[in-house]
């Protein structure tokens, strides 16, 4: 899998996350959904569940693991954006889930991806 050199670290991580989700049979509904002042990286369908996914990418873990940056404040913001998405799209209420995908990107060919389902 080739990731483009000119993409930011975050965008590279999102690209890897989308490729992973597609392999896992998730249907990607939307990427970089903006509502108010916030954004959800990926909204996907996993069987009967609508999944709101935050992707965190780091090149080093010197300052902690990527998933550690999804703080309670960030979780609250993601929940509000998800409510906005559901309201705006007028989707019937279905099962929803909040996941985090942590990507440690050592190089374009050397990375580790950790999918945390029901992260919060």
Checking if the pLDDT of 1 tops 60, the result is no
Checking if the pLDDT of 5 tops 70, the result is no
CB 53 within 8 A of CB 43: yes
Q: How many domains does the chain divide into? A: 1
Instruction: Kindly state whether residue 93 falls inside one of the protein's structural domains.
Output: yes
Interval 54-95: pLDDT, tens: 999 999 888 889 999 999 999 999 999 999 999 999 877 779
Closest by CA position to 48, among listed 77, 91, 104: 91
Instruction: Kindly state whether residue 14 falls inside one of the protein's structural domains.
Output: yes
| Residue entry with tokens 């909204």 | 43
Interval 24-64: pLDDT, tens: 999 999 999 999 989 999 999 999 999 999 999 999 888 88
- Please name every residue paired with 15 in a beta bridge, in sequence order, or none if there are none: none
The enclosing domain of 96 has a CATH number of: 3.40.1350.10
Checking if the pLDDT of 3 tops 50, the result is no
Instruction: Kindly state whether residue 4 falls inside one of the protein's structural domains.
Output: no
Instruction: Kindly state whether residue 3 falls inside one of the protein's structural domains.
Output: no
Residue numbers of the domain that contains 78? 9-116
């Amino acid at each position: 899998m080739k990731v483009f050199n000119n993409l930011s670290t975050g965008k590279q991580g999102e690209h890897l996350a989308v490729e992973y989700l597609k392999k896992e049979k998730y249907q990607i509904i939307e990427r970089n959904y903006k509502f108010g002042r916030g954004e959800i990286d990926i909204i996907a369908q996993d069987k009967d569940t609508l999944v709101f996914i935050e992707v965190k990418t780091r090149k080093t873990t010197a300052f902690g693991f990527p998933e550690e940056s999804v703080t309670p404040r960030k979780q609250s913001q993601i929940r509000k954006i998800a409510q906005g998405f559901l309201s705006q799209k007028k989707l019937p209420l279905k099962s929803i889930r909040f996941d985090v995908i942590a990507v440690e990107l050592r190089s374009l060919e050397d990375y580790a991806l950790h999918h945390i389902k029901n992260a919060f």
